[in-house]
Structure 1
Amino acid sequence: MSKYVGGALIPTLKIDRGDRSNLAFQLTVALRNLILSGDLATGTRLPASRTLARDQGVSRTTVISAFEQLAAEGLLDSRIGAGTYVSAGLRTPRQTTVEEARPVEELPHLARLGAGVREPFAPRLGHPPVPRAFVTGMPAFDAFPVALWSRISSQYWRENRASIMSYPDAAGLHELRQAICQHLSANRGLVCEPEHVFIFSGAQDAFTQLARMLVNPGDRVWLENPGAIGARNAFLSCGAEPVAVPVDEEGIDVEAGLSAAPDFRIAFVTPAYQHPLGVTMSLERRMQLLDAADRAGAFIVEDDYVGEFHYGETTLPPLKTLDGGQRVIYVGTFSKTLFPAVRLGFAVMPPALAPMIERTLAAIAHGVTHSVQGIVARFITEGHFAAHIRRMRGIYAARRDALLDAAARDLAGRLAVRWTETGFHTVAMIADGGPEEWALAKAAGDAGLALTPLSRYALEPIARRGVALGFSAVPPVEIERGVKALAAVIDRLAP
């Protein structure tokens, strides 16, 4: 800062004559900002009141008023016969050196999670969330009935303001809870009552809230290995001890889980379409899991994230339909059936848990926006949701066929692409002698494709070498182009 006998030059200090606020107030705010930002360093002498008044074109009284206010705040020191200075004891952000700053992870008052998310946590998205060949978990934006959605939204917003603009019920809008029950009964064979259905800001929010309410630090939680990353992170964030349970062609290996942790508190599973391997849990394995939960006094969290999208003739109903012991918490999401930005999920609780869940959510949760719930409820009750699901099944089946046909033609000998009758993606195993899966994923990303290595989903190392190939997000022509591009990438990486 340049100095002269009249005090510091302050070229950035400006008074806005177009501003209707008091000039003394403006000058006070401007000087305060310069001091707190460090632009006027501690110990700096300010110009004399007459000098500053002349420089700014204001009265001396205005300057004196500003100086007095800042002195009262402890930012300025006035010394008789010596002038006005920025307080010597003041510490501003700019004056804290790198050496003096304490690393965040060393701060004593941060929780384990806040101090730094580390392994075995993993980012939930390994690619930019935009539609492109082989992106996973993304519905077809191009096929969504936007005009219909807009019409229903417009109708909703013309209703009574008191009902649509008030604070939402933390448990969820009754109309939506009832509509979900009706849909699950008709389309998934799952019978439930509205008071047992709770609405969340997406399935991930449901997992996090359930973990907070059901898991104590150190509780052992079975997690499919490989398995869903978001659910894993939710339980880890609450201090759970993760138990990596292998997955075979029948789903989670219950015997392996019991061998590792017979005293488990929660088992997280994806029975309809195991994430990411794509196997469907067999009936025998489902009964084993229910029996294990009964004996351990544990709960099962069933994530039915794409159960609506089955392209074969028959499918097993949700695990919860077999739940005689009332151990299963069924979680669904509208992010896949509608679109991710809707941020809406739900959980069907065992009746014995429902009162506790309702009390806890009422105490700590904010609820989901009324408008989103109300629009989705109307979308369901007017029959649009069921029609949308039926239409999308046909679209996704065609995109799956495009992937499988193109893979048989262009990826033979490079990748073994698995047949699938459910979901938004399939898996492709890398042939012997083929590229390392992470190297393949990176090279594919450079080519504009989205590949996710199977090991990314693993809590503990797995023997499988492969990648997940999504087919839901883009039309068949883009899938076919993507397959050709992927074949070229593999050939470039070949020894």
Structure 2
Amino acid sequence: MDYGVLLSNYERTAPRGKAEGGARPSQQHRLYACLRTAILSGQIEEGTRLASSRSLAEELGMARNSVLYAYEQLAAEGFVLSRRQGTVVARVGLQQAPTQAPEAPPALSHRVAGLARPSGEMSDLLPFLPGTPALDAFPLAQWRRCMERAWRHIGPAQMGYGQVEGNVALRQAVAEYLRVSRGVRCEAAQVFITDGTQNSLDLCARALADAGDIAWIENPGYYGARASMQAADLRLVPIGIDADGLAPRPEDWRDTPPKLIYITPSHQYPLGSVMSLERRLALIQQARAVGAWIIEDDYDSEFRHSGAPLSAVQGLTADAPVVYLGTFSKMLFPALRLGYMVVPPALATVLRPAAGALMLRGRVADQLALAEFIEAGHFTRHLRRMRRLYGERRDALQAALERHLHGVVTVSGGAGGMHLSTRLDAPARDLDVSVAARAQGMVLRPLSRFCLPGTLTPQYNGLVLGYGNVPAEAMDGLVLQMQRVIEAVAA
């Protein structure tokens, strides 16, 4: 065997780069890697006697010790055997020919079958992607200073994983903010800092219900809630939405009493309705009666554009069976990946051990920086600016839709948040419009994708338009482009 050609071919096809520490691989390591690859691929068959270390060193023009190192390393890993007649490639069945056709792709569990993130999330900067805040308006310089100060105050004692519930300063800041701004009844001991709403939902689905339990979800509704509950092997029951939010019927309570009820009452996602006070109080009373937990996702309640905001469901009555979720991804920026849960006092005690087993911990600097960002007033000032900015962008989008798509789409859900929901009145499928728009650099999320499979009706053929990261001056041109896309699909 021409080992020189073998080594040359290996080095020509091997990935370029440097070894650990920045140095290029040594001769002995290169030879070892070459022989190992040749054995694994079948270029050197099992049972083959390799050249002696002396003759191979002469053939390759390298020190004999380098060859000995390569052979010793291969022997230590079980690729070769040292015998009296020389070094022989071991027979371990690596090169057995397949006796059957290639297998189909591996199957995942039934719990996660069909789960996938909606398309169009490759870039947060694409126009109309729902849930994306005004990233260019974030006070990055202030945030950097908070991060720098956080790292200056971190010593060895703070470099561990930290408390399960999260940094105490951040929990106190969150509790105070929620008491004042959202009417949430809470103390810092009830607050758990999480990696965002999805992390909170995963914990709720696994810790508050057993496999096979019934979970009510809004329909249409947030895909992430559906994913968490499906992955926890819960039985999903879709509940319709009307102008007053989640609208369970008497037979729903009778025939499919839930263990979990997921709601977005402040600004239903994606339709944008606001749950009435009467329905909020009734939901608490009925949930108590059947022993259900209400999971209140208050994800963009801070951005109310018209009318007085309603307080959180959690704070309406004492000891409400509500787990309140919030996230800083929408208020600040998605890459922060910090959210929070507020749980009833009795639940906090029993949830702590499970949270410690199921949740990741750490990110001390991010949490310290965010606590200072809130306490120094940067957070509330940023929210005030964003309310004005998002109000301007919503108005610009509504005006452009009226100018260019009057009679083509019907708009709803503009009272708050960072998105509008539209129904397509043109003869076009929202899925087709979404695909065509993506090719034009826009994310027009199809409303039909928010419905549970098998529940789609014609009224949910529409588009969900996020305006948070779209400048007001760009709206008219983008809606004009949207008009052309819809006309082309409907033609």
After TM superposition, the score normalised by the length of structure 1 is 0.89
Q: Secondary structure at the match of 1:353?
A: helix
Give the corresponding residue for 1:35.
39
Answer yes or no: is 1:480 the counterpart of 2:483. Answer: no
Q: Distance in 1 between matches of 2:72 and 2:180?
A: 74
Alignment-derived partner of residue 429 in structure 2: 436
Alpha-carbon spacing, 1:370–1:91, altered in 2? closer, same or farther (3 Å)? same
Displacement of 1:47 in angstroms is 2.4
1:181 partner amino acid = A
- Give 1:24 deviation, angstroms: 5.9
Question: How far apart are the structure 2 equivalents of 1:316 and 1:179?
Answer: 22
Q: Which residue in 2 is equivalent to 1:86? A: 89
Match of 2:346, SS? Answer: coil
CA distance in 2 between partners of 1:276 and 1:339 (Å): 20
Counterpart in the other structure of 1:371:
365
Of 292, 296, 303, the match for 1:298: 292
Aligned partners of 1:411 and 1:487 also within 8 Å? yes
Q: Distance in 2 between matches of 1:199 and 1:22?
A: 48
Q: Which moved more, 1:375-384 or 1:131-140?
A: 131-140
Q: Does residue 144 of structure 1 match 2:138?
A: yes
Amino acid at match of 1:394: R
Q: 1:195 to 1:53 in 2, by over 3 A?
A: same
Q: Quick check: 273-282 or 72-81, which moved more?
A: 72-81
Match status 1:453 vs 2:456:
no
The alpha carbon displacement at 1:251 in A equals 0.8
Q: 2:457 aligns with which of 445, 452, 462?
A: 462
Structure 2, gaps ≥5 residues long: 12-17
Tell whether the 8 Å contact from 1:196 to 1:354 is kept in structure 2 after alignment: yes
Q: What is the Cα deviation at residue 387 of structure 1?
A: 0.8
Counterpart for residue 397 of structure 2: 403
- Offset, 1:165: 2.6
Report which stretch shifted further, 456-465 or 480-489: 456-465
> Which residue identity lines up with residue 473 of structure 1 in the other structure?
N
Offset at 1:263?
2.4
Superposition deviation, residue 393 in structure 1: 0.1
Q: Equivalent residue of 2:150, what SS? A: helix
Are residue 47 (structure 1) and residue 51 (structure 2) matched? yes
Two-structure CA RMSD over aligned residues (Å): 2.8
Q: What amino acid is aligned across from residue 176 of structure 2 in structure 1? A: Q
2:238 aligns to what?
Answer: 244
Gapped runs of 5+ residues in structure 1? none
Letter in 1 for 2:465: L
Q: Deviations over 1:59-84 (max 9, x none)?
A: 54653564355345431245655x54
> Where does 1:189-338 land on structure 2 (aligned, <5 Å)?
189-255=183-249, 258-259=252-253, 261-338=255-332
| Residue 70 (1) aligns with residue 67 (2) | no
| Equivalenced residues, count | 479
Partner of 1:343: 337
Partner amino acid for 1:224?
A: E
- Indicate how the Cα distance of structure 1 residues 326 and 41 shifts in structure 2: closer, same or farther if over 3 A, else same: farther
Q: Is the 8 A contact 2:211 2:233 kept in 1?
A: yes
Amino acid at match of 2:61: G
Give CA deviations for 1:100-130 in whole Å, capped at 9, x if unaligned: 6655636xxx7544xxx323x3424544232
With normalisation by structure 2, the TM-score equals 0.89
Q: 1:22: Cα distance to partner? A: 8.6
Q: Note if contact 1:403-1:471 (Cα within 8 Å) is conserved in structure 2.
A: yes
SS at match of 2:345: coil
* 8 Å Cα contact 2:7/2:34 also seen in 1: no
Q: Corresponding residue for 2:14?
A: none
Deviation at 1:57, TM superposition (A): 2.8
DSSP 3-state at the match of 1:105: coil
The letter of the residue matching 2:246 is I
Q: Residues 239 and 19 of structure 1: is their aligned pair in 2 closer, same or farther, counting only changes over 3 Å?
A: closer
Counterpart in 1 of 2:106?
105
Q: Is residue 2:491 matched to residue 1:490?
A: no
Identity of aligned residues (%): 37
Residue 330 of structure 1: CA displacement? Answer: 0.4
1:11 aligns with 2:8: yes
Whether 2:60 is the aligned partner of 1:56: answer: yes
Matched residues in 2 for 1:20 and 1:477: separation? 53
Q: 1:24 to 1:368 in 2, by over 3 A?
A: closer
